[in-house]
Amino acid sequence: MRFPTASVTCGEEACDEMARMAVMTKSVHLIDRLPEVRGRYSVAYDLSKVTWFRVGGPAEVLFRPADAEDLKVFLARKPADVSVTVIGVGSNLLVRDGGVRGVVVRLGRAFAEITVEGIEITAGAGALDLNVAKVALDAGLTDLEFLSGIPGTIGGALRMNAGAYGREVKDVLVEARVLDASGLEHNLTTDDLGFTYRRSSIPEDWIFVAARLKGRLGASTEIARRMREIQDARETTQPTRIATGGSTFKNPQGEAAWEAIDRAGCRGLRLGGAMVSEKHCNFLVNTGEATAADLEGLGEEVRRRVREVTGVSLEWEIRRIGVPGPRTGPGNGDG
Ligand SMILES: Cc1cc2nc3c(=O)[nH]c(=O)nc-3n(C[C@H](O)[C@H](O)[C@H](O)COP(=O)(O)OP(=O)(O)OC[C@H]3O[C@@H](n4cnc5c(N)ncnc54)[C@H](O)[C@@H]3O)c2cc1C
């Protein structure tokens, strides 16, 4: 198919349509090069639908594997030059407006199984942290309550060494099942994963498929009380029912990030549709019409002001992925 050259003038809508078709055409070429799988490919999938910030451009191709075997086949057979990015439920992601090139992998229901054996829980990487905490409660297992306050998946929790209220994933992990970039499976222990504050050190293109976590026997009433306490604390201190990505920056040595941001006078600061939350100033929020560029630009402005006023260099905790640019058109949104 041929497209008009750049010298052809067009109205804004026609130009948008051409940009969209260009992305679609490129994606069709990419999809033609991808291996046959049992799962589902979607071309130009609108990622703003699956991220907490509700912003971001399309994935060139979104792949939802049927199961771990399907994912292995995909990784083993995909062309080497095709980049792969895995996402969970997008609660720690800022997808840029130009979208993500290559294939974005999203783990669905087949990866959400949770089983209990003794004091251990095995959870698929697509299982929600909250559901793992609920299963632990039903099984009378304590130590996993903190997961009830983290709105991501087990895969995202492993990558981020997610934590809250004094516990992190590294404290409760026995073993993680992970696929390397060529689809080979590895069973890794906590030591192998090189956990530090909000990160694990395994290669960025490795994909967690499951985790074995351990709890301790506890009283269900006490576990339930702790989970309620966590829920209440979040309602009181964090913006809820609004598009946000949680804590924007890691806590620097010796001070909470929100305190440094507050000291720099950034509470309530706005850029386009993006705003520093009034309630918790380490949270950025999309007030409705923000672009990813607004949110990232505001974050960078906060970093600049904090450095200027306090001398502290804030480091992004939120993962920013994709390419900048105008939104390259709506995805097909088929699921
Ligand atoms: C309101 C709110 C409150 C939050 N509170 C907390 C908190 O208290 N503590 C905390 O730690 N975090 C918190 N977060 C951040 C976020 O929930 C966690 O980082 C969570 O672990 C991200 O999981 P996810 O599935 O959403 O991953 P995503 O945001 O989709 O991805 C995050 C990173 O994980 C990688 N990833 C996702 N799945 C996999 C996989 N299967 N294999 C390999 N890599 C993978 C992605 O590539 C990306 O780099 C909060 C977020 C929000 C919106």
Enumerate the CATH 3.90.78.10 domain ranges in the chain, comma separated: 239-314
Exposure letters 47-64 (e unless 16+ CB within 10 A, then b) = bbebbbbbbbbbbbbbbb
Per-residue pLDDT band for 331 (boundaries 50, 70, 90) equals very low
Q: What are phi and psi of 323, to 5 degrees?
A: -115, 145
Per-residue pLDDT band for 254 (boundaries 50, 70, 90) equals confident
Q: Which of 60, 145, 168, 317 is catalytic?
A: 317
Tell which atom from ligand 1 comes closest to the C-alpha of 209.
Answer: 41
Best mutation site among 83, 107, 150, 258 for ligand 1 pocket (most ligand atoms within 8 Å of CB): 150
Q: Which of 40, 54, 167, 198 is catalytic?
A: 198
Structural tokens at position 108? 């669905």
Ligand 1 pocket list (CB less than 6 A): 52, 86-93, 107, 125, 149-153, 155-157, 159-160, 162-164, 207-208, 238, 244-246, 319
Average the pLDDT over 217-222 and give the result: 97
Structural tokens at position 87? 């996402």
Question: Euclidean distance between the first and final Cα of the chain, in Å?
Answer: 27
Which is nearest to 179 in space by CA: 65, 294, 304? 65
Average the pLDDT over 296-304 and give the result: 98
Q: What are phi and psi of 259, to 5 degrees?
A: -70, -45
Topology (CATH) of 110-222: 3.30.465
Q: Which residues contact 50 (CB under 8 A, 6 or more apart)?
A: 87, 89, 90, 106
Active site residue 247: yes
Q: 71: part of which helix (H) or strand (E)?
A: helix 68-77
> To which residue do tokens 């913006």 refer?
239
Active site residue 198: yes
Per-residue pLDDT band for 3 (boundaries 50, 70, 90) equals very low
Per-residue pLDDT band for 16 (boundaries 50, 70, 90) equals low
Average the pLDDT over 283-289 and give the result: 96
Mean pLDDT for the chain overall: 91
pLDDT value of position 239: 85
State the distance from the centre of ligand 1 to the C-alpha of 104, rounded, in angstroms: 16
Structural tokens at position 198? 């909000």
Amino acid at 50: V
Topology (CATH) of 12-106: 3.30.43
For the stretch 63-104, pLDDT in tens is 999 999 999 999 999 999 999 999 999 999 999 999 999 999
pLDDT value of position 285: 97
pLDDT value of position 335: 32
- Report d(CA 67, CA 71) in Å as an integer: 6
Per-residue pLDDT band for 240 (boundaries 50, 70, 90) equals confident
Answer yes or no: are the C-beta atoms of 218 and 131 closer than 8 Å: no
Average the pLDDT over 47-60 and give the result: 97
Best mutation site among 62, 72, 129, 160 for ligand 1 pocket (most ligand atoms within 8 Å of CB): 160
Enumerate the CATH 3.30.465.10 domain ranges in the chain, comma separated: 110-222
Answer yes or no: are the C-beta atoms of 178 and 188 closer than 8 Å: yes
pLDDT value of position 10: 41
Which is nearest to 243 in space by CA: 278, 286, 280, 284? 286
Question: Which one of 3.90.78.10, 3.40.50.2300, 1.10.3720.10, 3.40.50.11540 gives the CATH number of domain 239-314?
Answer: 3.90.78.10
Answer yes or no: are the C-beta atoms of 175 and 188 closer than 8 Å: yes
Average the pLDDT over 286-306 and give the result: 97
Q: Which of 148, 247, 303, 327 is catalytic?
A: 247
- Report d(CA 250, CA 262) in Å as an integer: 15
- Helix H segments across 90-172? 129-138, 154-160, 169-172
For the stretch 118-159, pLDDT in tens is 999 999 999 999 999 999 999 999 999 999 999 999 999 999
